[in-house]
Amino acid sequence: MEFLIKYLPQFLDGFVLTVEFTVFGALIGLALGILLAIGDLYGGRIISTIIRFYVEFFRGSPIIIQLFIFYFTIPNMLATIIDPFMVGLLVFSLNSAAYQKGYIKGAMEAVYEDQMTAGLSIGLSKVQTIVYVILPQALRLVIPAWGNEFSSLTKSTAALLVIGVKDVTAVGKSIAGLSFRYLEVYAFVAIIYLIWISVMMKITDIVYEKVKIPGIEISA
Amino acid sequence: MGKQKKEAVGTVGRKMTDTVMECRNLWKNYGKITAVKDVSLKIKEGEIKLIFGPSGSGKSTLIRCLAMLTTPTKGDVFLREECLTRPDVDLNKARARIGFVFQHIWLFRHLTALGNVELGLRRVLKLPKKEARKRAMQALREVKMEEWAHHYPAQLSGGQQQRVGIARALVRNPDIILLDEPTSALDPELIGEVIDTLRDLAKKGTTMLIVSHEMPFAREVANEMIFFDKGTIVETGPPELFFTNPRSERAKKFMARLIKRTKRE
């Protein structure tokens, strides 16, 4: 156990990275996801088709492949080098956006029709109705799905080692290689993920309860 | 309300003879189905007109076309002198001057009663927070829902929700309030409170077009009743005409059925 304590600073560095990627990835993903959902619902056929291709790509391929493409292929084509951290964050955000767009669009469709008509009837524009009426309801419905999103993003940070960004998994790998104590190291890494995911799930629950409004709940 | 109304809209010298809303030769088709067929009608300042007729006859479609919540296929809608069916009209601005009450109420589910009434004041009329709140509370008082201001729609009964719906429609001091069967989705014991609210509005001289089958209420407040069937106006006249001796065969039959039903209740 003491030897793990010796490496604690390195583990901590890796953990911070995991946290950064999940939190920023999910938040940027949320912002993009909202835009994609609106684009898909109201953007017309061409925009909606483009968005579907985008979503299919990010949901239908392994995140490792996405990292490879963005880190090796695209800079190669453009003949530049991109900072691996930024590439990682970009891929995480785009990937998360693809999933979140699905949740948000579904929730918007669930509240859409009568609420849009009601919004227009008091003189709000379509955009105002989306901002002040549809999204506040849809986002509340979407919060429970964030738990899944956080957990899947957290686990995906392990894949970052393929582009040389060292999250806890990468840190664990090098420490295990040095110490040959694979069982303890990887068990410890797994526990770190587990704790972080549990914390995020809990926070999601708290947020959901906090902003919950009678009448806008996910029926069990 | 009457006084406030004039100052808020800023129109001087309105007369009872001024036309508030009008439609000329209005048509609405859904594919091959014609929901509204060549309808023309006029509502003057302070007038209350009541549309009734069999379900599926196009009453809701007509009233939605008048509010420009549905775009008419052909024909024109006027709000005062402004033609709303011209392509260059700012429909959001026009709709802000029309109050609309829905059959299924359709309150904003994430907002309290107060929030529902306030939203249009804040985001459409862009009133400062304090003033918006004051006016919203005043509107809730008019429909006797002040005590429930901080309740969410899901915490209110159907009748209470509809009264909030009416407050939401009248709070902007619209030129006219259009009501699409405001009581027909409510439990029978809740209809009375909504009718009372509407009666109050009528007393204050609110210009209204109401789709409804509440006949005693119609007889009491309507200046004119419009019998609507198969997408078009069959017969119009004062309530007394319909209750005593409607001219058209269809109206006669329909009234007989309605009166029989009312007596049973």
Cβ contact B92–A124 (<8 Å): yes
Binned at pLDDT 50, 70 and 90, residue B125 comes out as very high
How far does the CA of residue A142 sit from the closest CA of chain B (Å)?
14
Identify from A112, A117, A121 which residue to disrupt to test chain B contact, counting B C-beta atoms within 10 A and taking the largest count. A121
Partner residue opposite B124 with nearest CB, options A123, A133, A214: A123
* Chain B residue nearest residue A111, CA to CA: B109
B104 inside 8 A of chain A by CB: yes
The predicted structure's pLDDT at residue A4: 82
Identify whether the C-beta of residue B164 lies closer than 8 Å to the C-beta of residue B146.
Answer: no
Tell whether B185 lies on the interface with A, counting CB pairs under 8 A: no
| Contact between B97 and B89 (Cβ < 8 Å) | no
How far off is chain B from A20, nearest CA to CA, in Å? 32
pLDDT of residue B12: 47
Residues 6+ apart with CB under 8 A from B2: B204, B205
Q: What pLDDT is recorded for position A80?
A: 78
Domains detected in chain A: 2-211 (1.10.3720.10)
Asked whether the predicted pLDDT for residue B265 surpasses 80, the reply is no
Instruction: Please give the model's pTM, rounded to 2 decimal places.
Output: 0.88
- The pLDDT, as a whole number, for residue B1 is 41
pLDDT band at B148 (very low <50, low <70, confident <90, very high): very high
Q: Over the stretch B205-246, which tens digit does the pLDDT of each residue have?
A: 999 999 999 998 999 999 999 999 999 999 999 999 999 989
Q: In degrees to the nearest 10, what's the CA dihedral of B73, B76, B80, B81?
A: 130
Q: What average pLDDT does the structure give for chain A?
A: 92
Residue B110 at interface with chain A, using a CB cutoff of 8 Å: yes
Q: What's the pLDDT score for residue B8?
A: 41
pLDDT recorded at residue A77: 80
A139 part of contact set with chain B, CB < 8 Å: no
Between CA A96 and CA A76 the distance in angstroms is 25
- Confidence at residue B3, expressed as pLDDT on a 0 to 100 scale: 41
Residue B141 backbone dihedrals phi, psi, to 5 degrees? -65, -40
Separation of alpha carbons B222 and A130, rounded Å: 37
The CA distance from A162 to A90, in Å, is: 15
Asked if B197 and B99 touch (Cβ cutoff 8 Å), the reply is no
Are A122 and B97 an interchain contact pair (Cβ–Cβ within 8 Å)?
A: no
- Comparing CA positions, the residue from A152, A177, A51, A136 lying closest to residue A102 is A51
- Percentage of chain B lying above the pLDDT 70 cut: 93
pLDDT > 90 fraction of chain A, expressed in percent and rounded: 77
Q: Compute the average pLDDT of residues B184-194.
A: 92
Q: How far apart are CA A70 and CA A73, in angstroms?
A: 6
* Residue-averaged pLDDT of chain B: 91
Render pLDDT for A178-213 as a digit per residue (tens, 0 to 9).
Answer: 888 899 999 999 999 999 999 999 999 999 999 999
Angstroms from A114 CA to nearest CA on chain B: 6
Backbone angles phi, psi at A11, to 5 degrees: -60, -40
Question: Which stretches of chain A are DSSP H helices?
Answer: 2-6, 8-42, 44-60, 63-68, 74-78, 84-121, 126-129, 135-156, 168-179, 182-211
User: Chain B window 38-67: which residues touch A at a Cβ cutoff of 8 Å?
Assistant: 67
Give the chain A residue nearest B117 (alpha carbons). A122
Burial class (CB in 10 A: 0-12, 13-18, 19+), B49: buried
- Interface ipTM: 0.90
Nearest chain A residue to B152 by CA: give it.
A214
Structural contact between residues B70 and B61, judged by C-beta atoms closer than 8 angstroms: yes
Residue B194: pLDDT band by 50, 70, 90 thresholds?
very high
Note the pLDDT of residue B14. 57
**Minimal C-alpha gap between B246 and chain A (Å):** 34
Q: Over the stretch A58-67, which tens digit does the pLDDT of each residue have?
A: 999 999 999 9
For B100, the closest of A115, A121, A132 (CB atoms) is A121
Q: How far is A84 from chain B (nearest CA, A)?
A: 42
Tell me how far apart the alpha carbons of residues B208 and B215 are, in angstroms, rounded to a whole number.
Answer: 16
- A120 at B interface, C-beta within 8 A: yes
| Whole-number Å distance between alpha carbons of B168 and B190 | 19
Per DSSP, the three-state class of A116 is helix
Average pLDDT for A87-112: 94
Whether residues A213 and B152 touch (CB distance < 8 A) is answered with yes
Asked whether the beta carbons of residue B69 and residue A117 sit closer than 8 angstroms, the reply is yes
- In angstroms, the separation between the Cα of residue A199 and the nearest Cα of chain B is 28
Enumerate the β-bridge partners of residue B29: B34
